Each structure stands twice: as structure tokens, then as C-alpha cells.
Structure 1
């Protein structure tokens, strides 16, 4: 039985869609479809039946799913056991994560790891929280990294605080808010969580404020939120680390000095904590150094540059 076909079957079963699996794992849809057909031909059974746009497991598919996961886990364990005999740190590191700050957070950390351990293959997959914490997802991953909202457990990697930011262009037009009550007169760019619109939760000493600003720009992607803020479309609620470069270059400025959120925890959960592989131990060591005081990241970093407005091109100005 082909393990690539089994792995593709598990991916499709998890998401109940060929298209979704192809998009999430960066594989051609035709490849997944071919592997599924080969597996069904080999077993001489149908593994899925279609219900609208959703693929549902048949009884045979449901039975195979449990066995397929065990087979793939066994293959991974065998591969890890053999590579552990080598002096080099090798193998495949499979990390699952929530995708709030992928390129600005997880990928930079993985880049720092990759520079030290170039022989380790990295698979980073972003999941929505309800898929990420499903047992079947955890079974296929080495570790899970997430921004926790009231979730206990795991090892804390780092913490971050959110604050308010806007472009100078916006502040010149709308004025500078001096206190939280002034935000009622301002335009917000609001992040949508899986539970609804994100409130701006701010505190200063014992004082606390929870604000949901008026907004005609709502997105479930922080990079989009930051882009619109740099473009002068309103005030954004973002973590400090996510706006460092934009603030250094003058594309954003912090508002309401010393008002910020409570600390938000970033954690890692290791799938097999009682038997860590050499690559996982190396990864945890790099994580510890990456988030330690004084660590300087030297790899490429993403940021939002000045937004050029073509309507102002003749005047030679930028927003």
C-alpha cells in the first residue's frame, strides 16, 4: 500500500474536500485525486461519497482512516529512530499553528532554526483552532504553536501586548486621540475572530477599557489590518512586535501612550513530550534562545512599506 496515497487520503478526510486539502498542503488537486483513485483501485472500495460540496467517508473509508493514521505514525517513528543514530540533527519537523502572525512570527523563528539545522525538513501548516486541536491533527504533528485565549497547558514561548497604531496621515486628518473616550470619534480597522469582532481591550494601571470602534473595514487577517492602517484608513489594534519596523520607518505611530492590552500568551504543545526526538529537542533549544532577551534575528523580515497612491502620482506624493 502506497504511503503517499495513504497520507493524501488522511489529508482529504481531515478537511472533507479535495480542493481544501490541496490548498492547505500546497499540493496539486490532480495529484491528490490520482492518489485517492489509486488507493480505491488497490482496495477495490469507494472511500468517500459526495454530499453537496463535502466529501463524506464511507464505512470502508472510516475503517481505513484509523489504520492509515497508525501506519503513517509507524513510518514516522521508524524514520525518526533511524535518523537518531546519526550525529546530525535530521528528519522532518511538522509544526501546526494558528495563522495570526505567520510570516512575522513563526516563519522567522523557523528561519533561525533552519540556519542552525539545515538538514531538518520543515512542514509548517496553519489551521483554524477547531481543526488544530482535533486529536487527529495533533497525532500527525510534532508540535502545535498557538496564541492562547484562556487556554491552559503547553509551555509558554513568549508573551505579547497589543496597542493602538495609525499612520501620520490619518492622525493629521482625524486628530490625535488623547484618552480612550476620544476613540468614539475615530475610524477603526477591526479584526474578526472566530467568536466575533475583536474588542480593543486596553489597560493603564488599574484602569481598563473595552472598545469596539465604528468601522467599515473588517478582516480576519492582521496583515490586512496593518496594510489599511499604513494606508491611512483608520486605527488598528496590533501587537508591538508586529509594528516595530513600520514605527521605525514612520509608517505608523503609537497612540494613547501607555494604554495597552494585558499580556497574551504564545505557547507550544509537544505531541510526544515523554519521548522527544533529537530534532524536537534542538527546536525547543532554538525557541528558548529566539525569545530570550537580547536575541537579534538576522534573517529577512516582512513589513508594510509606504502605500503609494496612484491618484497622487502626478503630484509626486505618497500616502
Structure 2
């Protein structure tokens, strides 16, 4: 009969790439982990790794077994966590994916108090601007910014997100201020490469009046988009959770072309068909509370009604909210 500790050790070796790395992760001696692997291979009647002096690599049988082994380990961990949850404790592993800029600027500060309150949770957070497959890649949940479209996911809205077309005062002085989408022909753009040409969508724009500007920079990171806009390279369409501070300081200005970008949200999504754990629900509630409604990064920013909108900065309101946090 196969033993669970052997399967767990196999998964740790596959993820760490070495027996010594797995031993460190599991707080066991190298010899114990090696013995567990040997016993598992003997029970299966097949080697699971190619062994060389430098590294281990999965055999064909090992690769096939890994998929099932990951599922087994995950089910056992979730079962143990569920027992703890029944006793009112939030424990066990949690694996999340989130965008890089949002994770650095806002998710981290909201997560740290949550993890301090629940020390039994072991979280793995992977920051990546690409759209990962929550189901196939084994995430408990993914945090995303955008429209909610993936029908395979159950989404919880964490906060509304407002995006604005912005540019630096220096850029607008050199190139003028576009007043309608047709004016984009005379302008330069900084684009988010992970969304492609579909990123610049305005609710009221007709296809025959929309002109795409010359793209001076494509990049898959919001921090760099903001910095490029501040450097005067061109127009950028960015959410206020990235550019709120620069709008308040005047380093970036909203460019009103009479039309609004599509509505978007910050949301947490988990695979459809998988019951959301108590700790995942608790995390969603904690993030909602930390971000606020309206979200704190919009504090001190007031937009005029109408397409695009102008901007008024209420510095007193912003400073008051900042002190509360």
C-alpha cells in the first residue's frame, strides 16, 4: 500500500527540483525524504525521477503520477483544514495569484494583518501579470482587475475600479490635449501588452470614429506604464489604484475625450465547482474591508459627471483618510 508521506515527499521533490530542497521545505533530513521516495518507487514498481549528479527530472511515469499526487495532497490538506474550520480555526495552505502592481501596492498591506490574525494559514502568493488558469494551475483563487468574463470562475467583487486616460503636463503642453477619440491620430500611446488592442475601449465610441494612436511603448506592467506616462512618452489608460497619488500631486492629468472607459472591477475568483473554503471567504471579506467602498485609493479624488470627467482634488479628505490607514 502506498503511504501518504511518500506521496507528499514525491510532490515536494518535484516542486523543489531536488531531494535536499524538499527536505528543507518539509523540515526533514535528506535521508528520510530519500527513503520515502525509494519506498514509493518500490511500491509503484517504477522510477519516478531520472537521477544525475546535478539534478532530478521526472520520468514519463513520474510526470503522469505527479498530476494525481498533487490532487491527493491537496485533498488531504483541504480535509484537514475543514476539520480545523469546524473548530473555528482558519488553517492550512492557500495558493493565490495576483497582478504584480496591485499586489505590491495594495494587496500586500491588506494581507499582512489577515495573516497575522490567522497564523495557521500558510499562503503562497504568486504575482504575475499574465492571466493564469486557476483550475489547471491549482490556485485556490486568483485576484484580477478587469471585466468579469471567465464563466469557469465564481467571482467575488472586492472593489470597483475606475480607469482614466492620463498624460503628464509636459506631454500635453507639447502635443496638445485630445478632445475626442478621433484626435488620437495625432498622439502617442503607452499600452498594456497583456490586453492587446482591446484594452482601449470606450463605452460610447463608435467604430468609425475611433482612431488608434501610435504606440510608443507596449509593456506588461502597470508601474512602468505610469512611469512612462510621467516621463511624457504618451497617453496611458490606467486605474486609479495605480495613478491616484500622481493625480493628487498633479504629476499626471486626466484627459477627457468625452467618453468613459468600460467599467471594471477588482475581484477574487475561484474555480467553479470547487467549494470555497472558510479561509477563502474570510480573506475576501478582509480585503473588501481593507479596500473600502469607495476604495481608499480614490480618496480625495472627485470627478465631474459626464464622459471621462474632470478632476478635483480634495486634499483634506485624502489626508484624513490616509491618517486613518
- TM-score, reference length from structure 1: 0.68
Task: For 1:5-24, list aligned pairs within 5 A.
Answer: 5-9=10-14, 11=15
Equivalent residue for 1:181?
182
Residues 69-122 of structure 1: per-residue CA shift (max 9 Å, x gap): 133113312431453255443433322335563323433442463465455333
Equivalent residue for 2:249?
249
SS of structure 2 residue aligned to 1:259: coil
Task: For 1:48-67, list aligned pairs within 5 A.
Answer: 58-67=59-68
Note the aligned Cα RMSD (angstroms): 3.9
Task: For 1:177-216, list aligned pairs within 5 A.
Answer: 177-193=178-194, 196-204=196-204, 210-216=210-216
SS of structure 1 residue aligned to 2:108: helix
- Structure 2 distance, partners of 1:242, 1:29, is 42
Task: For 1:1-319, list aligned pairs within 5 A.
Answer: 1=6, 3-9=8-14, 11=15, 31=21, 38=34, 43=41, 45-47=47-49, 58-84=59-85, 86-99=87-100, 101-111=102-112, 113-114=114-115, 116-117=117-118, 120-126=121-127, 131-133=132-134, 135-138=135-138, 141-147=139-145, 149=147, 150-152=149-151, 153-157=153-157, 158-193=159-194, 196-204=196-204, 210-256=210-256, 258-271=258-271, 275-290=275-290, 292-294=292-294, 296=296
Gaps of 5+ in 2: 1-5, 298-325
Residues 10-44 of structure 1: per-residue CA shift (max 9 Å, x gap): x47xxxxx6xxxxxxxxx99837999995866637
Cα contact 1:97–1:144 (8 A) shared by 2: yes
Cα contact 1:163–1:254 (8 A) shared by 2: yes
- Structure 1 distance, partners of 2:253, 2:275, is 46
Cα contact 2:216–2:233 (8 A) shared by 1: no
- Structure 1 distance, partners of 2:62, 2:288, is 42
Cα contact 1:166–1:254 (8 A) shared by 2: yes
Cα contact 1:189–1:229 (8 A) shared by 2: yes
Shift of 1:229: 0.8
Number of residues paired by the alignment? 273
Q: Given the superposition, is the C-alpha separation of residues 113 and 207 from structure 1 closer, same or farther in structure 2, using an over 3 Å criterion?
A: farther
- Structure 1 distance, partners of 2:252, 2:19, is 41
Residues 103-158 of structure 1: per-residue CA shift (max 9 Å, x gap): 2343344246346545533321245756424x3423xx322223455323522414
Shift of 1:59: 2.9
Q: Given the superposition, is the C-alpha separation of residues 211 and 283 from structure 1 closer, same or farther in structure 2, using an over 3 Å criterion?
A: farther
SS of structure 1 residue aligned to 2:237: strand
SS of structure 2 residue aligned to 1:182: helix
SS of structure 2 residue aligned to 1:169: helix
Cα contact 1:199–1:211 (8 A) shared by 2: no
Cα contact 1:200–1:210 (8 A) shared by 2: no
- Structure 1 distance, partners of 2:131, 2:293, is 33
- Structure 2 distance, partners of 1:197, 1:33, is 47
Gaps of 5+ in 1: 13-17, 19-27, 50-54, 298-319
SS of structure 2 residue aligned to 1:267: strand
Q: Given the superposition, is the C-alpha separation of residues 143 and 40 from structure 1 closer, same or farther in structure 2, using an over 3 Å criterion?
A: same
